[in-house]
Structure 1
Amino acid sequence: MSSLPPSSFSAIPAKNKTVIIGAGFLASYIAKTLVASSSRNTVLLASRNPEKLHSKLSHLGNQILPAKANVDISKGEGLDELLKGASTVVNLVGIMHGSPALFDSVQWKGAQNVAQASEKAGAKLIHISAIGADPTSPIDYWRTKGLGEQAVLEFSPKATIIRPSLVFGPGDGFFTRFANLAKYLPFLPVFGGGTSLFQPVYAGDLAKAIEIISRSSSDPEVAAMVDGKICEAGGPTVYTYKELMQLTLKYAEKSRPILSLPYQVGLLQGLVLERLPENLFTVTRSQVNQLRSNNIVADPLPSTTHVSFAKVLAAFPPPAVPSSAPPPKAKTEAEVLTPAEEILPEYLGSGAEDGGVLERVKGGKRMHGGKGFQG
């Protein structure tokens, strides 16, 4: 039996193992994008309950590694073992409801635990935060997102932080939720006139950016652009909150009035509903207060600490896929961002495909949707 000489093994490319912590909506997009981009990429899903998402991805074969359950980043136990051999770690864990202590333990101390373990493993950390993150904010969600960012860069200085605006795509928790609410409510509510601004970003574009950033360990050009940087991620269009409701109704094919309520009414609703088990109608006082502020990419971006989301996507196109067709034309920064109007018909209303779960082929790469929850 013939065998390769020892020197030949060094020429065999090593596998790139990515650990995704948090088995929700965005994790599906990231995992499928990583698998589609290279046969060398393997993905390990880790969360408290990753089994459902893992089963949906099992058709991708041995690039999807056995999932790791009962992972609790707030305690940090087992993270060192979990991240052994990882080249990239993506921390998606976040919460929308809970006490100040719970926000502290998950979004601040939990982020710190992941950063310390990633640095110990020698892995590139990609930390998902949120536009509005501010350690001085009176709103626990934004306060702990800001404190988490500080901890990440303190303990893992080459980490990249992504701050998305509202994330959309099949399986999302915004457009899908309000389309469902329109089935039961005689109107859709907005607060304070619905004038706050949002810049929805497509989950598939976020997944592409994360795949690019994951190359930083082996690509000096990527590293020079993204290491230690904050990337605020928004889509090509800024909408008011009321306009988002109008988009929802249009593509869900529903006719409902949009009713503006005073913020005080929303706060009273939150006072009651946040004490009940989470359901389709849940709203919290914190969420209502968040609507008082715009949720859009800073303009201009701080030049030394931030990097443009569109610039990352345009500078590093997807890896070439073997094909007899000519390679796709490179896109400009203005062309790389996917508009909501292109995607919403695919999962809202009668035009939805396969119950809102869609595999898309775009630009030579498979892009997938999936249902789930954040964290």
Structure 2
Amino acid sequence: MAVDTNKTVTVFGGSGFIGRYVVRALAKRGHRIKVACRRPDLAYHLQPNGNMGQIMPIQANLRYPWSVERAVDGADYVINLVGILAESGQQRFETLQAEGARLVAEAARGAGAGMTQISAIGVEAGGDTAYGRTKALGEKAVFETIPDATVIRPSIVFGAEDQFFNRFADMARFSPFLPLIGGGNTRFQPVFVGDVAEAIAATVDGAVPGGRAYELGGPEVLTFREMMEEMLRIIGRRRHLLTIPFGAAGAMASVMRYLPGAPLTPDQVRQLRHDNVVSDAAEAEGRTLAAFGIRGRTLEAVLPTYLVRFRPQGQFTQPRPQAGGLDRDDDERS
């Protein structure tokens, strides 16, 4: 089947971490991209990823229906990447992840455009986290509005601009220990942002059937502790891994949530009680990276390319060959 490389694609949240990779992948395919975000001036860095006039930032805010409709006008396809990990100011889970997803879907339907919605593995409408509940409601709203839409659910996403490995690697420069909430036993299936972006871009070309939710995980299933050990090995530092029971972490988060740029919220602590890996059902039904013909990249293959700056002497420090010898906290209780 010939691929139409002359589509106009509106990408909501295209200036963010995953968005910049999605825009690049779409530009490589020859599509015209409208990057819809609250601050278009923060999306100008994306323009060199395409030809002259191929990538156009445009102002849009999911709290204002008219701006969403304007951003979608004339689009052949719509991708919604908007999501938040913690609430602040007017940025609320319900407004952005549930109501916002429905608003984008209704605008896409009105324009006769297809749609891909970005969600997350393990979200449930009746779950115990506001993040997960509103993501699930967003999925439901999209499928109700556009039955043949595609939903992409990645596990934890890593890459040069991520807020996970970069944050803990930076912390390891100064702190003698790193926290392991609940003992660090929660399992994840980290997936490279470039692989996620390629899968998202492929949905525009109809590479996989619509009307389904695809769960994207990398080739490794690792606990939180194992991810910290791998990160420390790569940056060549030894740090204590200190267990913080869920109860204590929740109490700390309840206080920190009122601080500007809070590093941890009660909702995030609750999320860490649940594994974040591709489900057996998705594996059995072929709703994984393999459906896109993508072989996921490992942490070992990618982390050294951007965590090198956190080594004691930067790129001139060789990483230790294995994680053995790391100081551990012996308390494994959660």
Identify the residue that residue 29 of structure 2 maps to in structure 1. Answer: 37
- When normalised by structure 2's length, the TM-score is 0.86
- Map 1:222-301; keep pairs closer than 5 Å: 222=207, 225-278=208-261, 282-301=263-282
Specify the SS of the correspondent of 2:57: coil
Identify the residue that residue 330 of structure 1 maps to in structure 2. Answer: none
The offset of 1:46, in angstroms, is 1.0
Q: Structure 2: how far apart are the matches of 1:132 and 1:205? A: 19
Q: Structure 1: how far apart are the matches of 2:8 and 2:199? A: 17
Q: Structure 2: how far apart are the matches of 1:25 and 1:270? A: 25
Cα displacement string for residues 43-102 of structure 1 (whole angstroms, at most 9, x for unaligned residues)? 111111232232243363325433112x21133222222112212211110111127992
Relative distance call for 1:269 and 1:275 in structure 2 (3 A) is: same
Q: Structure 1: how far apart are the matches of 2:97 and 2:286? A: 23
Given residue 85 of structure 1, which amino acid in structure 2 is its aligned partner? G
The offset of 1:307, in angstroms, is 4.6
Which deviates more, 59-68 or 128-137? 59-68
Of 87, 92, 96 in structure 2, the residue corresponding to residue 98 of structure 1 is 87
RMSD in angstroms over aligned alpha carbons?
2.3
Is contact 1:19-1:88 (8 Å) kept? yes
Relative distance call for 1:311 and 1:302 in structure 2 (3 A) is: closer
Specify the SS of the correspondent of 1:66: strand
Unaligned regions of 5+ residues in structure 1, if any? 1-12, 217-221, 315-332, 357-375
Cα displacement string for residues 156-177 of structure 1 (whole angstroms, at most 9, x for unaligned residues)? 1111000110001111111111
Is 1:81 equivalent to 2:70 in the alignment? yes
Q: Structure 2: how far apart are the matches of 1:186 and 1:196? A: 22
Relative distance call for 1:147 and 1:271 in structure 2 (3 A) is: same
Same amino acid, percent of matched pairs = 34
Identify the residue that residue 193 of structure 2 maps to in structure 1. Answer: 203
Q: Aligned residues, how many?
A: 308
Q: Structure 2: how far apart are the matches of 1:264 and 1:248? A: 26
Q: Structure 2: how far apart are the matches of 1:178 and 1:106? A: 27
Is contact 2:214-2:282 (8 Å) kept? no
Unaligned regions of 5+ residues in structure 2, if any? 316-334
Given residue 108 of structure 1, which amino acid in structure 2 is its aligned partner? A
Relative distance call for 1:89 and 1:141 in structure 2 (3 A) is: same
Q: Structure 1: how far apart are the matches of 2:86 and 2:309? A: 32
Of 113, 117, 125 in structure 2, the residue corresponding to residue 135 of structure 1 is 125
Relative distance call for 1:127 and 1:14 in structure 2 (3 A) is: closer
Is contact 2:169-2:310 (8 Å) kept? no
Given residue 233 of structure 1, which amino acid in structure 2 is its aligned partner? L
Q: Structure 2: how far apart are the matches of 1:149 and 1:59? A: 30
Relative distance call for 1:93 and 1:186 in structure 2 (3 A) is: same
Is 1:149 equivalent to 2:139 in the alignment? yes
